[in-house]
């Protein structure tokens, strides 16, 4: 079996050369999940893992049909490269290497095989499929797997008592179908530990170099404990993403979150209304469209994903604009109509000047200054000044309010 071991070592080196570029590029393969309400979360899709465990045969040469004999347990190891297509579904490329030993003391037979298996598996999360809203989905994953691949093996058949070799099989390749169950536990942002047990169905009855009437195919089992390491520049992985966000965009709880965000925006707008009156009208129209769209979206049963994404982007755009307005300094242009040491009400000032223009009163450095309008650009303030001139107040002039001070323009 030295030839088989040499081939295995060469394959391991080849796999390392093939997978190294993939690991380097995995950090760039972070996709954006549909839930853009969660600050445009991105999820990495690649991970890799190693496992070690026991390999047991289910062949014609076997002491017990179900439970393995103590001499029939041998060690094996597996390497996997995972691509997480969604929280439910994962594709795996795997390489398994190990040994199989079967004994039949009654027939005085024993066989030893070196196993090398390459395959592509599909894995589906059972708990996330049937209970996508459970909080345990954040740290526990129970899955089923099915795949196909190629297995190569070399076998020696010998007498159990003496060890005399009766027959040998050089390297032989056959189709293998793995299927099984497993579970993963998330222990940190980057690392999972897991347990998996899978049967391997071989398209051959020559694994043990023994053929029995009524038996046409051999099987073997691999049960291992392993570790999975997530790749990428951030710590969020698609296999642990919330299914209700990634797969069910029309979830009622998410629609309610959208409504809460819209209500919060209305409150912010009310707080900013006196400072930025020119921007408020358009923002209110956009918030109203979001609110109306949310109500309509809650009733629709088709095209939910696209409509929800559009409304979510609109909410984020509004919030970004509100943040910009909140960060802007308290600066504006206005028209000063008069300034007095005596405090008059707005109504008294309007009656005194003989105008009906909307005004407000500022108390600055001991003076009561009566101004009309708040504008972000000088041209609008000049137009307001000309309107006031037309009402007979020819000494009105444009001022700029900045850092608590009114300055003429």
At 372, list the tokens.
């009309």
DSSP three-state, residue 86: coil
Instruction: List, in order, residues 6 or more apart from 94 with CB less than 8 Å away.
Output: 78, 79, 80, 81, 117, 118, 119, 120, 121, 147, 149
| pLDDT for the residue numbered 299 | 65
Rg (CA), the chain: 37
pLDDT score, position 319 = 81
Strand, helix or coil at 119?
Answer: strand
The Cα–Cα gap between 262 and 235 comes to 30
Residue 59 near residue 211, CB atoms below 8 Å: no
Q: Note the pLDDT of residue 306.
A: 67
Q: Which pLDDT score is estimated for 110? A: 94
For residue 39, what pLDDT is reported?
Answer: 43
Give residue 27's pLDDT: 43
Beta strands in 85-207 (DSSP E): 89-104, 109-125, 140-159, 165-186, 191-202
pLDDT of 217: 85
Residues 6+ apart with CB under 8 A from 223: 53, 54, 56, 195, 196, 197, 198
Distances (CA, A) of 40 to 37, 61, 112, 263: 7, 57, 54, 21
Q: How many CB atoms lie within 10 A of CB 228?
A: 22
Domains of the chain and CATH, by start: 2-244 (2.40.160.20), 252-327 (no CATH), 331-408 (3.30.70.1070)
For the chain (409 residues), the mean pLDDT of every run of 10, in chain order, is: 50 45 44 45 87 94 84 93 94 96 92 96 94 88 97 94 92 95 95 96 91 82 96 84 70 66 79 67 78 71 65 80 67 91 90 89 90 89 90 91 82
pLDDT at 252: 59
Torsion of CA 388, 392, 397, 402, to 10 degrees: -50
DSSP calls for 201-228: EES-S-TTS---TT----EEEEEEEEEE
Strand partners, 310: none
CA distance 81 to 317: 39
What gap in Å lies between CA 199 and CA 181, rounded to an integer? 9
């Amino acid at each position: 079996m030295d030839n088989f071991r040499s081939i295995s070592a060469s394959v391991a080196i080849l796999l390392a050369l093939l997978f190294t570029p993939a690991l380097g590029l995995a950090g760039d393969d972070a996709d954006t999940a549909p839930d853009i309400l969660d600050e445009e979360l991105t999820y990495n899709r690649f991970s890799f893992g190693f496992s070690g465990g026991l390999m047991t045969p289910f062949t014609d040469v076997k002491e017990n049909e179900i439970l393995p004999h103590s001499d029939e347990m041998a060690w094996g190891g597996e390497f996997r490269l995972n691509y997480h297509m969604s929280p439910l579904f994962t594709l795996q490329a795997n390489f398994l290497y190990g040994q199989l030993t079967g004994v039949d003391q009654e027939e005085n037979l024993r066989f030893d095989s070196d196993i090398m298996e390459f395959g592509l598996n599909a894995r589906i999360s059972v708990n996330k499929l049937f209970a996508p809203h459970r909080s345990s989905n954040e740290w526990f994953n129970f899955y089923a797997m099915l795949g196909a691949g190629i297995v190569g093996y070399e076998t020696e058949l010998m007498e159990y008592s003496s060890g005399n070799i009766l027959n040998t099989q050089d390297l032989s390749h056959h189709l293998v179908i793995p299927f099984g169950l497993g579970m993963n536990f998330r222990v940190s942002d980057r690392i999972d530990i897991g347990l998996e047990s899978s049967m391997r169905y071989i398209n051959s009855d020559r694994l043990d170099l023994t053929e029995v009437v009524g038996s046409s195919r051999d099987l073997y089992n691999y049960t291992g404990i392993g570790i999975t390491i997530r790749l990428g520049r951030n710590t969020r992985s698609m296999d642990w993403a919330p299914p209700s966000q990634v797969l069910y965009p029309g979830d009622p709880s998410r629609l309610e979150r959208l409504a809460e965000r819209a209500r919060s925006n209305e409150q912010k707008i009310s707080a900013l209304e006196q400072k930025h009156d020119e921007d408020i009208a358009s923002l209110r129209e956009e918030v109203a469209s979001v609110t109306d769209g949310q109500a309509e979206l809650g009733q629709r049963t088709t095209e939910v994903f696209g409509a929800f994404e559009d409304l979510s982007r609109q909410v984020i755009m509004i919030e970004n604009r509100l943040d910009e307005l909140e960060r802007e300094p308290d600066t504006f242009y206005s028209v000063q109509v008069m300034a007095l040491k005596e405090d008059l009400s707005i109504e008294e000032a309007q009656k005194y000047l003989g105008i009906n223009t909307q005004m407000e009163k500022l108390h600055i450095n001991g003076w009561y200054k009566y101004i009309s309008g708040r504008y972000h650009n000088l041209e609008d303030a000049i137009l307001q000044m000309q309107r006031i001139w037309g009402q007979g107040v020819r000494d009105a002039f444009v001022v700029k309010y900045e850092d608590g001070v009114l300055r003429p323009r």
